[in-house]
Homo-oligomer: A and B are copies of this chain.
């Protein structure tokens, strides 16, 4: 910048003004500065500028989600990126893999990097650590799951009510023995399942802690091998649904057992039978989270908000099959 000033024959401050697009500069000088900038291939150092600036914005937000490689998270990421791009903000993304330690570590790392804000899909059961870890001037918005022990805006999908709807759908098609397959992060969906069954005095069958598609496939196989197997399955997230589908196909029983999955997934409509799902809208959730975050960054300081993005039950066939067997 010094070199530019010298080359253009102006003061350092004038260069700064030109580079920052301030209007109060003589056009002649502006031209001279621009020429020098071009000649020297000068680029301003954002780190240094951010050091002295008032607003101290880095133009970066942190996105902490389950797995950037998972289609659901990836769709959400994309929506966040689009909203960020509209403001010229960039996205630092990180995968948590359901690991609370990783969550905390990444929050700390992004805070140290002075992200302007964070969007977090909580992995751990408690976000109390945020009080110590997160500087008060960097806002956070939770997405997918609510946070515990720390107040902040949250963008949620109405998991419990969506699950309730899914299970009622199966009940409406005559099913009484309905099993639930889930993992730690689908806790709220399990609650919806239980609510629906309890209302009718039905007996819950729950398999929990399924990490990944393969575990779900194995669990489904063993479930269907039981003496009185369930006539319908309710699966708590897309990877689990896919594992279940794989098991049903593998056993040749895909036309026997009904299935409703939480989360839509690509090609669900082309399977045989096509898979009925309760679809979340990851793009809408990402967009809502980004908007909420930018409002906070812009100074909105009211009470934490809970933003609900509706789920949709999409009947495609697998959830409308009647019970078979006894």
- A binding-site residues for B, Cβ under 8 Å: 41, 43-48, 50-51, 58, 60, 67-71, 73-75, 77-79, 81, 90-95, 109-114, 132, 135, 242, 245-246, 249, 265-267, 270-272
Q: Are B68 and A94 in touch, CB under 8 angstroms?
A: no
* Closest B residue by C-beta to A113: B46
Among A74, A79, A94, A135, the one with the most B-chain Cβ atoms within 10 Å of its Cβ is A74
Contact of A270 among B60, B68, B113, B246 (CB under 8 A): B246
Q: How many monomers of this protein are in the complex?
A: 2
CA distance A296 to B90 in the complex (A): 24
With a cutoff of 8 Å between Cβ atoms, the chain B residues found around residue A266 in the complex are 71, 242, 265-267
CA distance A22 to B177 in the complex (A): 64
With a cutoff of 8 Å between Cβ atoms, the chain B residues found around residue A71 in the complex are 69, 71, 74, 266
CA distance A246 to B73 in the complex (A): 24
Q: Are B47 and A114 in touch, CB under 8 angstroms?
A: yes
Sample (16) of A-B pairs whose CB atoms are under 8 Å apart: A41-B132, A43-B135, A44-B112, A46-B114, A47-B48, A47-B58, A68-B74, A68-B81, A71-B71, A81-B93, A90-B94, A90-B109, A90-B110, A91-B93, A245-B270, A266-B267
